[in-house]
Amino acid sequence: MPTYTFTAMDAKGKEQSGTVEAESQSAALAAIREQQMFPTRVEEAGTAKKGGVGKSKAAPAKKASGGGGSKNIEIRLPSFLQRVKSKQLMTYTRQLATLINAGLPLMRGLQVILKQEKHPLLVRATTDVVESVQSGSTFAEALGQHPRIFNRLYVNMVKAGEVGGVMDVVLERLAEFMEKAQRIRNKVVSAMVYPIVVLCMAIGIVTFLMIVIIPKFEAIFDDLLGEGGLPGLTQAVMNASDMIANRSVPLIIGIGIFVVLIKLAGKTAYGGYIVDWTKLHLPLFGVLLSKTAIARFTRTLGTLMTSGVPLLQALNIVRDTAGNEVIARAVNGIHDAVKEGENIAPPIQASGVFPPMVVSMVEVGEETGELPEMLMKIADNYDDEVDNTVAGLTSVIEPLLIVFLALVVGTIVIALFLPLVSIIGEIGQ
């Protein structure tokens, strides 16, 4: 049985190398993965070795010299393993909250998570966090060393949980926050699946007509009408067909350049504001995006304040995690006004971004001393409105797309029949 030398990452994210006996390369890969390791390099050795899978920290194995030549294969971790999805982080957070709530110390909880976690980035990050905490850092400081996984919202809520001694409660709130955000995102995506499929079908049908059918009619009309010319509608359809059939490459390149320019402009402060303002004022979708942004703002601020984060610090975090430049600028104005000693309701109203209902509920929350709870109620209310808006959009978009497809196809058919009417008239005369 052939022997394979390998290099792999273990559960702690450290590089390991060794050997394994297997009937084939795929069997060797399976055997390595059974050891809870992610292989990055496997090569067939020239001589057999006993002993199974080694775990010594050695350099990557070299090609063995000997009888049958060696085969090298490079294995890279799949791209989806290179980032932590929100659902994976949500599960990670809820598991840690459950362990701490059950009475386990933080370090013991992290070690339990480390044994069962399979995502390489989370494994590596948790290992670093454990080492940092053992070296004297706080849990929040250790998490802050991995900003790609744990954002400012996450780190600051954990910091508040450490100060208040309610780490399990804070982690539970974080998990609930991510669950609700993911639920809204999933509803929007699932509601858009059918309209997108219909739109793609419409584009495919129109493209087929323009590229295949219309050019054949154009040749027929040229033969029958000669110098007579085509009706205006027919000529416009023929010109559109010619553009799609013969000039599609420059058209696609132009659209691509336009999209890239919009993306680049969106990364600047002013350009990002214009792009986000346009999104919030789009027909049909603008209302949905606006309600989603308000729900995110109120839920994030309410979650931070409920967890014990001071209002000014919470507003800074909300501004950095808003995901919309219009909302971020409004929050920045609210922060400056509150810093000067104002209540939070007047600057929210002055921003012009939030509807009167939000302003009134925030004002009531301030007067009753229950602002965090009121913010969470606003978020729940807007989550329900987002659900209703998504359902309404779906019911509106579907018939609109069908009517649009019927108009386009009907226009093409009429444009093709107009010359036929002229031809039949001439034949009758």
Quote the CA–CA distance of 285 and 390 in Å, as a whole number.
9
Q: Does residue 70 carry a pLDDT above 60?
A: no
pTM for the full predicted model = 0.62
My answer on whether 280 and 410 are in the same domain is: yes
Mean pLDDT, residues 249-271 taken together: 86
Which one of 180, 211, 228 terminates a domain?
Answer: 180
Mean pLDDT, residues 57-77 taken together: 41
CB within 8 Å of 238: residues ≥ 6 apart: 214, 218, 230
My answer on whether 88 and 70 are in the same domain is: no
pLDDT digits (tens, 9 = 90+) for 161-189: 787 777 888 888 888 888 887 887 787 78
Q: Are 322 and 328 in contact (CB under 8 A)?
A: yes
My answer on whether 202 and 340 are in the same domain is: yes
My answer on whether 301 and 368 are in the same domain is: yes
pLDDT at position 9, please? 63
Q: Name the pLDDT band for 113 (thresholds 50, 70, 90).
A: confident
My answer on whether 255 and 211 are in the same domain is: yes
My answer on whether 246 and 362 are in the same domain is: yes
Q: Are 299 and 177 in contact (CB under 8 A)?
A: yes
For the stretch 14-25, what's the b/e string if a residue is b when 16 or more beta carbons lie within 10 angstroms of its beta carbon?
A: eebbbbbbbeeb
Residue 125 sits in a domain whose CATH number is 1.20.81.30
My answer on whether 43 and 89 are in the same domain is: no
My answer on whether 149 and 254 are in the same domain is: no
Q: Are 142 and 133 in contact (CB under 8 A)?
A: yes
Q: Does residue 47 carry a pLDDT above 50?
A: no
| Least confident stretch, 48-57, 191-200, 204-213 | 48-57
- Name the average pLDDT for the chain: 80
Q: Does residue 103 carry a pLDDT above 50?
A: yes
Mean pLDDT, residues 397-405 taken together: 83
Which one of 53, 76, 99 terminates a domain?
Answer: 76
My answer on whether 244 and 359 are in the same domain is: yes
pLDDT digits (tens, 9 = 90+) for 49-65: 333 333 333 333 333 33
pLDDT at position 257, please? 92
Q: Does residue 87 carry a pLDDT above 80?
A: yes
Residues of the chain above pLDDT 70, percent: 86
pLDDT at position 68, please? 42
Q: Name the pLDDT band for 13 (thresholds 50, 70, 90).
A: low
Q: Name the pLDDT band for 361 (thresholds 50, 70, 90).
A: very high
pLDDT digits (tens, 9 = 90+) for 298-331: 888 888 888 788 888 889 888 887 778 899 899 9
My answer on whether 58 and 106 are in the same domain is: no
Query: Containing domain of residue 357, as a range?
Result: 182-429
My answer on whether 141 and 218 are in the same domain is: no
80 against 105, higher pLDDT = 105
408 against 55, higher pLDDT = 408
My answer on whether 155 and 295 are in the same domain is: no
Mean pLDDT, residues 393-414 taken together: 84
pLDDT at position 364, please? 92
Which one of 24, 51, 76 terminates a domain?
Answer: 76
Quote the CA–CA distance of 146 and 132 in Å, as a whole number.
12
For the chain, the domain total comes to 3
pLDDT at position 46, please? 58
